[in-house]
Structure 1
Amino acid sequence: MYVRITTLALLLAPPAVLAKDPAPAKPKTPKVTFRDHIGPLFRRRCTGCHGSGQPKADLDLSRYVSAIAGGSSGEVLVPGDPLQSRLYLL
């Protein structure tokens, strides 16, 4: 009986030892928002010329709605697709 248990344990041990750990879960990327990420950047770098009031080229980057609306040259942002946004390409 002892021999059977030992043999069974030896037969089952290699697969258990060689089994791979499941793939690690991908870390969640934080959701980028205008309020938390884009707006502060625009305030630091852009709204001196493209803020509310009389923005250059009618492009007001101080608020999400006005930034999405674009300026006198048309839309400059494509939500969710920065590579298609004219502002990114400049």
Structure 2
Amino acid sequence: MKGIVEERAIELGEYIIESKATVRKAAKKFGVSKSTVHKDVAERLKYVDPQLYKRVKTVLEINKAQRHIRGGLATKQKYSAERLTARK
């Protein structure tokens, strides 16, 4: 019988695949820490459901490759907003 931790790992994995979510987004959705999400999908899921693990790993690798782009866009948006409020 699977425990609660294993079930959570499967739920997290399915959520990440369905929504192409980042670890941070999944953590917020499930109310757990980023470390917990990462441990569940990167370590536990490998033994509980190897096929799901491979699919999740692919999504997380894509997210990791795009991370610097999202960070740059967030910084640009932050300073654009500050510039607009400074003009008023």
Q: Which has the higher contact order (CA 8 A, sep 6+)?
A: 2
TM-score range, shorter chain: under 0.3
- The structure whose Rg is larger is 1
More helix by share: 2
Q: Compute the TM-score of the two structures, normalised by the length of structure 2.
A: 0.26
